[in-house]
């Protein structure tokens, strides 16, 4: 039976209940369940603006009615049609969904075997696991020529995701955000925080949730990548305005072991007259995980430290982990109150680092309130309002998702939302303090952006191969609705500050970092520094020096230039940040974002646009002093490092000396060229 109720299109058939409704402009939300009703959670979707969709249900006398779909006549036998702006849905009598645009082009159609096939493959399934839990899947006919982008951050180096199989789960350096943009002119969001898989095959596309109560997805149509991304961010959220200190240079290393170490670094930047917007106190500035306070032996006066830093124009950011050591004075209380993630089987320990620990269960609103009270008491009252939310996936020592349970349900069913709620804990708390939050966080899911999530790409290797991958990761995150993103400049693992080859990698990464949404130097450099003691924060060692003067005078001068360039670009960056706050969109953009009519722009994965005016061309190979690059057609490009002018729509070979990375400026924005002195 197909009928409409309160502006929704509803179909019931053999125990399956489907509901389709307008959810934002040019967009529809679809839910399907075998339960008696839908779950109340909207997950990442915000309450949409009121939009009226047109619904027409074909009665039995309209069997001969036809619809134009992609220049083909399609008979609708007792089915229905729903239209919201540029997105049209045909629901057939058999319950198959066909999405098309206003020109009649098919965008998505549920997978259908040939009617004479014996395969018996179903396009939509809810297979019972146990009780009210199902393994859910939806299959779509593949458009072999479409190109797919977004989905968050996967360390696979793949730009066009067509042909990929992606795990829908969070891991260190993997942020799964199930929104995909198609070059065919649609966006698809799998609104389900369950662990699962997305398969973008050439024979079919399939979305799976391994344990869930319903199918829930959202589809949008538009005329450009920008329009579709903004449609998505309209219903999942836009970021707040980036604080002013987020626009400049951030200094970090693994790890400043004492208050005096950190202050001496900031003092040296100040003495050299190098602008330092943020410096970070990394993990184990505490005595134990789950105390959320400075170790007084090594950090005796946090308030005085903050005051001195701010006198030099520098903000302090502190690392916060959701882990709670079994030795923490808060552990037993949190365990008894149900504020910790539990295990279905075995010992209820989630992560092993220095001590056995469990994770704070941030799906529990009372646990979030408990955590924030500790943060407020030990950090905010000392003037600290910038937080690095590490281990936010959360990072289980063993990613056996089926063994963990949250207040909100089994990890298999709700686990991907954990990083959103972890970030929200700090966003909500800081909002009460009238602070505009920027939360550096190691993972994200859909909607994280509205809570001030600045995602970085995790603990990645210090290699040129990894560097190339991060460029793609940043662009995929941008197309998945995360406009605040960054990396560890130089990578995290195995960079040796004595190695000339690493020096070159660091310089090339530093140049790229100057054009990321946030510019942040970090990494665990070799040779390692030992522990200071056997107690408290002294138990944790550190990496070698990682300040810009740690790599020799020639490299220092190059990095100094790019910090100063970043400072000169601040007014431009501020405009970009204000625009994404107001309208959605991204800060860094693949070339096709603006040049989607240029077929060559869709193939470029090692260049990107910084806003709409600056074309950035990182150098990603050791020893490379020239690089081949593409200039999108439709405009004239000015070489930022010379007086050369190029017509767009051509591939060139550009000089790339170690001290400069190729950058080009759109002729319409030629006033920016004077910043590249």
- Active site positions, annotated: 390, 393, 459
Give the Cα separation of 32 and 209 in Å (integer): 13
Q: Which residues contact 86 (CB under 8 A, 6 or more apart)?
A: 26, 101, 102, 221, 222, 223
In a 3-state reduction of DSSP, which class is residue 563?
Answer: helix
**Alpha-carbon torsion, ordered 148, 153, 155, 158, to 10 deg:** 10
Give me the half-sphere count of Cα atoms (radius 13 Å) on the Cβ side of residue 120: 1
Angle between helices 500-513 and 464-479 in degrees, nearest 10: 20
Give the Cα separation of 388 and 455 in Å (integer): 10
Identify whether the C-beta of residue 322 lies closer than 8 Å to the C-beta of residue 280. no
H or E stretch covering 364: none
Closest to 140 (Cα-Cα) out of 190, 176, 177: 190
Give the Cα separation of 651 and 96 in Å (integer): 45
Bridge partners (DSSP) listed for residue 416? none
Give the Cα separation of 477 and 314 in Å (integer): 28
Closest to 200 (Cα-Cα) out of 230, 156, 160: 160
Give the Cα separation of 434 and 482 in Å (integer): 23
Give the Cα separation of 471 and 620 in Å (integer): 10
Give the Cα separation of 363 and 400 in Å (integer): 19
Strands 249-251 and 519-521, bridge-based pairing: parallel
Length of the chain: 677
In a 3-state reduction of DSSP, which class is residue 376?
Answer: helix
3-state secondary structure 488-527: CECCCECCECCCHHHHHHHHHHHHHHCCCCCEEECCCCEC
Token pair for 649? 């729509």
Residue with token string 């939302």 = 417
Residue with token string 């303090």 = 433
**E-assigned strand segments in 183-221:** 186-190, 196-200, 204-212, 215-221
Identify whether the C-beta of residue 30 lies closer than 8 Å to the C-beta of residue 97. yes
Identify whether the C-beta of residue 137 lies closer than 8 Å to the C-beta of residue 124. yes
Identify whether the C-beta of residue 538 lies closer than 8 Å to the C-beta of residue 579. no
Q: What is the DSSP string of 40-74?
A: S--TTPPPPPP-PPEEEE--GGGTT-EEEETTEEE
Closest to 437 (Cα-Cα) out of 237, 233, 242: 242
Identify whether the C-beta of residue 171 lies closer than 8 Å to the C-beta of residue 164. no
Identify whether the C-beta of residue 309 lies closer than 8 Å to the C-beta of residue 278. no
Give the Cα separation of 630 and 615 in Å (integer): 10
Closest to 387 (Cα-Cα) out of 260, 285, 510: 285
Give the Cα separation of 314 and 307 in Å (integer): 10
Running DSSP on this structure, what letter comes out for residue 162?
A: T
């Amino acid at each position: 039976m197909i009928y409409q109720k309160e502006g929704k299109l509803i179909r019931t058939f053999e125990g399956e209940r489907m509901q389709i409704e307008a959810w934002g402009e040019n967009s529809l939300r679809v839910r399907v369940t075998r339960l008696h009703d839908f779950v109340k959670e909207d997950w990442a979707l915000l309450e949409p603006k009121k939009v009226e969709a047109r619904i027409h249900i074909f009665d039995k006398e309209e069997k001969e009615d036809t619809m134009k779909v992609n220049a083909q006549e399609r008979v609708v036998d007792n089915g229905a049609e729903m239209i919201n702006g540029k997105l049209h849905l045909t629901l057939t009598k058999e319950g198959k969904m066909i999405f098309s645009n206003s020109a009649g082009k098919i965008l998505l159609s549920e997978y259908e075997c040939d009617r004479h096939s014996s395969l018996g493959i179903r396009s939509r399934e809810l297979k019972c696991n146990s009780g009210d839990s199902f393994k859910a899947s939806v299959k779509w006919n593949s458009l072999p020529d479409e190109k797919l982008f977004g989905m968050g951050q996967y360390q696979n180096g793949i730009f066009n995701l067509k042909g990929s199989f992606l795990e829908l789960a969070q891991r260190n350096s993997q942020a799964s955000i199930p929104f995909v943009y198609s070059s065919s002119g649609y966006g698809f969001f799998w609104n389900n925080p369950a662990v699962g898989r997305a398969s973008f095959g050439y024979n079919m596309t399939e979305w799976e949730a391994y344990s869930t109560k319903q199918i829930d997805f959202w589809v949008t149509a538009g005329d450009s990548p920008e329009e579709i991304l903004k449609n998505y961010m309209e219903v999942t959220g836009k970021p707040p305005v980036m604080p002013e200190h987020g626009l400049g240079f951030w200094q970090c290393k693994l790890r400043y072991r004492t208050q005096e170490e950190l202050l001496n670094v900031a003092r040296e930047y100040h003495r050299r007259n190098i602008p330092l917007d943020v410096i970070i106190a990394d993990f184990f500035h505490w005595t134990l995980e789950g105390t959320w306070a400075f170790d007084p032996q090594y950090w005796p006066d946090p308030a005085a430290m903050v005051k001195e830093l701010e006198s030099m124009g520098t903000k302090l950011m502190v690392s916060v982990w959701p882990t709670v050591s079994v030795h923490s004075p808060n552990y037993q209380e949190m365990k008894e109150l149900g504020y910790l993630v539990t295990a279905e089987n075995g010992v209820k320990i989630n992560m092993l680092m220095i001590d056995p620990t469990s994770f704070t269960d941030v799906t529990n609103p009372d646990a979030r309130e408990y955590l924030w009270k500790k943060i407020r008491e030990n950090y905010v009252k000392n003037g600290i309002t910038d937080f690095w939310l590490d281990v936010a996936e959360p990072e289980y020592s063993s990613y056996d998702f089926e063994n963990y349970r949250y207040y909100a349900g089994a990890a298999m069913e709700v686990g991907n939302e954990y990083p959103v709620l972890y970030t929200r804990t700090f966003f909500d708390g800081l909002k009460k303090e009238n602070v505009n939050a920027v939360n550096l966080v190691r993972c994200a899911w859909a909607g994280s952006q509205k809570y001030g999530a600045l995602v970085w790409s995790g603990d990645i290797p210090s290699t040129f191969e990894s560097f190339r991958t991060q460029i793609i990761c940043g662009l995929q995150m941008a197309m998945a609705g995360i406009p605040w993103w960054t990396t560890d400049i130089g990578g995290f693992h195995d960079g040796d500050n004595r190695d000339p080859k690493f020096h070159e990698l660091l310089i090339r990464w530093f140049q790229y970092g100057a054009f990321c949404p946030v510019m942040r130097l970090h990494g665990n450099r070799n040779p390692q520094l030992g522990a200071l003691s056997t107690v408290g924060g002294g138990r944790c060692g550190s990496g070698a020096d990682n300040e810009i003067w740690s790599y020799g005078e020639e490299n220092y001068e190059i990095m100094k230039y790019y910090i100063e360039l970043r400072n000169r670009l601040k007014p431009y960056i501020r405009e970009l940040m204000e625009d994404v706050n107001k309208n959605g969109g991204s800060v860094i953009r693949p070339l096709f974002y603006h040049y989607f009519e240029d077929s060559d722009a869709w193939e470029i994965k090692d260049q990107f646009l910084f806003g709409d005016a600056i074309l950035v061309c990182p150098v990603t190979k050791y020893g490379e002093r020239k690089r081949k690059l593409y200039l999108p057609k439709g405009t004239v490009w000015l070489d930022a490092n010379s007086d050369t002018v190029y017509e767009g729509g051509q591939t060139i070979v550009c000089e790339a000396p170690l001290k400069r990375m190729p950058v080009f400026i759109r002729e319409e924005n030629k006033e920016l060229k004077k910043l590249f002195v």
